[in-house]
Amino acid sequence: MIINHPLLGPCDAQEFTYLGDASLLHRPDGMAEGAEAAFVDYAYPRENPAGLHRELWFHEQGDRSWLVVTRDTVTHEITQVELASDVARREGRSR
Amino acid sequence: MRYSGFRILQQALTGQKGWTPAWRNPDPQPHYDYIIVGGGGHGLATAYYLAKQFRQSRIAVLEKGWIGGGNVGRNTTIIRSNYLLDGNEPFYEFSLKLWEGLEQDFNYNAMVSQRGILNLFHSDAQRDAYIRRGNAMRLHGADAELLDRDQIRRDYPFLDFDNARFPIKGGLAQRRGGTVRHDAVAWGYARGADQRGVDIIQNCAVTGLRIEDGRCTGVDTTRGFIGAGKVGVAVAGNSSRVMAMAGMRLPIESHVLQAFVSEGLKPVLPGVITFGAGHFYCSQSDKGGLVFGGDIDGYNSYAQRGNLPVIEDVAEGGMALFPGLGRVRLLRAWGGVMDMSMDGSPIIDRTPVDGLYLNGGWCYGGFKATPASGWCFAHLLATDQPHPTVTAYRLDRFARGLMIDEKGVGAQPNLH
């Protein structure tokens, strides 16, 4: 698979390590009410769709950026690649 | 029809005209007491033991394609019970015991071959870990034997014993482990279940789970609605998709695992060997092909095919252990979709929906578990109580902090 890095252009997926569903960007507040249940929900269950999947890849052998890759889990086709920092900011994270 | 040596002789003398289909092809009835979703090894074994062991009737197995067309036909056929943890070892040992009597039990030649499995170690620390695992196995009644280099050299003289990075220091053998003809397992269970009245309905995909007042009352399928007293889901690889129909999110990611077979060779590998310094394992099929595999590709996939980097990685592991492998041509490579659970262990449990039961999360260890998985799932369906060997395989173990993490890598499915 080739991941089209937004800054570096096309890179072999072998340069990356895979973490999983991009929902992992949204770590719950550990001090909030019901944090225990929120963390269980954060850490273990997954949507695991057959089809488009937004997922986190880390460019370990490259610029060490985190990317959010939108990929079809049935065909392995990658349709969108964004910097995870941009996605996190857009989705309301402060940094 | 009972299969026997006498039957073969009789058929040979009468022109092989008396063989009958091994199972019927019935139309679905409007209602069953038990519906098993998924006609793979685990689903068919569940139906077989429900009918035979637990004396239940009115059972159907629904399969979206043809029976045995999923992971039971795509694995590397290895059976073993060499686990460390208390939650796992009794279950896999129970499974190995069932394998030992399986062919007589369901009257079908599954070619169960206890040719032994050998896990090689390459360092002192790894030897200590293997001794510990061997002791754990023996405490649970399984067999385990520590072999030194010379003992291994007798059976496997062609291995690279003095590899500069990964010299072979010894191995942990389980002589009762081995291989089984995988398709025959599905066919044997299907035939045995069918003979006991189970309806095996192929080309019947489940499109919805009907839930009324918190209770599962049946399934919508491509062949219409079928009512059920209890619904058992055994569709590993696709568990998340089926359980999403009940509004559930599972602690599972689907990943693709590749396997390989070489051209046929004369007998060279007497048993199953695994490399301890990388992920590579290999056995030789009765047709002569070397059957081998390694890691999953490592990203979510439902594609049933993987990519080249993992093939390269598996080949490198094989060459480090078994340099002669480089002269062998690869015949086929294929991929299967695994339910990779968050702790690397399976789930056999009730669900929050009454009458809906889940058997899944088999990671890449599902084949060896087939008989015990079927037995224990049938036990759960018939009695609503878990079999004593699967009390740890609960769906809520993640929330309760009771993970069974054999490898100790945490909630990261692509590392299990």
Helices (H), B322-408: 366-383
Q: Long-range CB contacts (< 8 A, 24+ apart) of B362-366? A: B362/B42, B362/B71, B362/B236, B362/B338, B363/B338, B363/B339, B363/B413, B363/B416, B364/B257, B364/B296, B364/B338, B366/B41, B366/B42, B366/B71, B366/B75, B366/B236, B366/B338
Alpha-carbon distance of B244 to B194, in angstroms, equals 30
Alpha-carbon distance of B339 to B219, in angstroms, equals 22
**Residue A65 located in a structural domain:** yes
Alpha-carbon distance of B358 to B375, in angstroms, equals 14
Q: Please tell me if residue A76 touches chain B, with a CB cutoff of 8 Å.
A: yes
Q: Please tell me if residue A87 touches chain B, with a CB cutoff of 8 Å.
A: no
Task: For residue B347, give how far its alpha carbon lies from the nearest alpha carbon of chain A (Å).
Answer: 13
User: Which of A21, A40, A48 lies nearest to residue B398, judging by beta carbons?
Assistant: A40
- 8 A C-beta contact, residue B206 and residue B356: no
Number of other residues whose CB lies within 10 A of the CB of residue B216: 22
SS3 (DSSP) at B119: strand
HSE-up of B367 (CA within 13 Å, CB side)? 26
Number of other residues whose CB lies within 10 A of the CB of residue A22: 22
Contacts with B213 (C-beta within 8 Å, 6 or more apart), sequence order: none
DSSP-assigned letters across all residues of B75-107: S--EE-----STTTHHHHHHHHHHHHHHHHHHT
Spell out where B12-72 has E strands: 31-37, 59-62
Mean pLDDT (whole number) for B64-89: 96
Report CA-CA distances (Å) from B228 to B58, B76, B231, B299: 9, 34, 6, 36
Q: Do B303 and A75 touch (CB under 8 A)?
A: yes
Q: Classify domain B113-178+253-341 at the CATH topology level.
A: D-Amino Acid Oxidase; Chain A, domain 2 (3.30.9)
How is residue B259 written in tokens? 């396997």
Mean pLDDT (whole number) for B314-321: 96
Mean pLDDT (whole number) for B324-352: 96
Q: Is B36 left (phi over 0), alpha (psi -120 to 50) or beta?
A: beta
HSE-up of A33 (CA within 13 Å, CB side)? 0
Mean pLDDT (whole number) for B223-248: 97
Strands B199-201 and B59-62: parallel
CATH of B30-77+182-251+343-415, one of 3.30.2270.10, 3.90.650.10, 3.50.50.60, 2.30.40.10: 3.50.50.60
Rounded percentage of chain B residues whose pLDDT exceeds 70:
100
The pLDDT tens digits for B164-195 are 999 999 999 999 999 999 999 999 999 999 99
Alpha-carbon distance of B207 to B229, in angstroms, equals 18
* Residues β-bridged to residue B274: B119, B281
Q: Please tell me if residue A73 touches chain B, with a CB cutoff of 8 Å.
A: yes
Mean pLDDT (whole number) for B200-227: 97
Comparison of pLDDT for B364 and B341, the residue scoring more:
B341
CB environment B338-350: b (16+ within 10 A), e (fewer): bbbbbbbbbbbbb
SS3 (DSSP) at B339: strand
* Residues β-bridged to residue B341: B252
* CA torsion angle B59 B224 B339 B346 (round to 10): -30
SS3 (DSSP) at B49: helix
Burial class (CB in 10 A: 0-12, 13-18, 19+), A81: middle
Q: Please tell me if residue A15 touches chain B, with a CB cutoff of 8 Å.
A: no
Minimum CA–CA partner of B313 in chain A:
A14
Burial class (CB in 10 A: 0-12, 13-18, 19+), B107: middle
The rounded mean pLDDT for chain B is 97
Q: What's the helix, strand, coil split of chain B in %, to 5? A: 30, 25, 40
Specify the CATH number for the domain of residue A78.
Answer: 3.30.2270.10
Residue A82 phi, psi dihedral angles, 5° rounding: -135, 155
The pLDDT tens digits for B381-404 are 999 999 999 999 999 999 999 999
SS3 (DSSP) at B366: helix
The pLDDT tens digits for B81-134 are 999 999 999 999 999 999 999 999 999 999 999 999 999 999 999 999 999 999
Q: Do B342 and A44 touch (CB under 8 A)?
A: yes
Report CA-CA distances (Å) from B413 to A48, B18, B362: 12, 50, 12
- 8 A C-beta contact, residue B306 and residue B151: no
How is residue B197 written in tokens? 């009245």
Rounded percentage of chain B residues whose pLDDT exceeds 90:
99
Q: Please tell me if residue A53 touches chain B, with a CB cutoff of 8 Å.
A: yes
State residue B330's pLDDT score: 95
State residue A95's pLDDT score: 57
Task: For residue A86, give how far its alpha carbon lies from the nearest alpha carbon of chain B (Å).
Answer: 22
| Number of domains observed in the structure of chain A | 1
Domain holding A82, by residue range, is 2-24+35-90
Could you state, in order of their start, the residue ranges of all structural domains in chain B?
30-77+182-251+343-415, 113-178+253-341
Minimum CA–CA partner of A57 in chain B:
B299
Kindly tell me if the per-residue pLDDT of A39 is higher than 80: yes
Mean pLDDT (whole number) for B137-144: 97
Minimum CA–CA partner of B239 in chain A:
A48
The pLDDT tens digits for B285-311 are 999 999 999 999 999 999 999 999 999
State residue B259's pLDDT score: 97
Q: How confident is the model at residue A94 (pLDDT cuts 50, 70, 90)?
A: low
Burial class (CB in 10 A: 0-12, 13-18, 19+), B400: exposed
Residues of A within 8 A of B255 (CB-CB) are: none
Q: Do A71 and B299 touch (CB under 8 A)?
A: yes
Residues of B within 8 A of A74 (CB-CB) are: 302-303
Strands B347-350 and B272-274: unpaired
State residue A93's pLDDT score: 78
Q: Do B309 and A13 touch (CB under 8 A)?
A: yes
How is residue B271 written in tokens? 């048993």
Mean pLDDT (whole number) for A82-88: 96
The pLDDT tens digits for A50-76 are 999 999 999 999 999 999 999 999 999
- 8 A C-beta contact, residue B378 and residue B46: yes
Residues of B within 8 A of A34 (CB-CB) are: none
Report CA-CA distances (Å) from B111 to A58, B44, B85, B181: 45, 18, 29, 5
Q: How confident is the model at residue A92 (pLDDT cuts 50, 70, 90)?
A: confident
How is residue B352 written in tokens? 């929050």
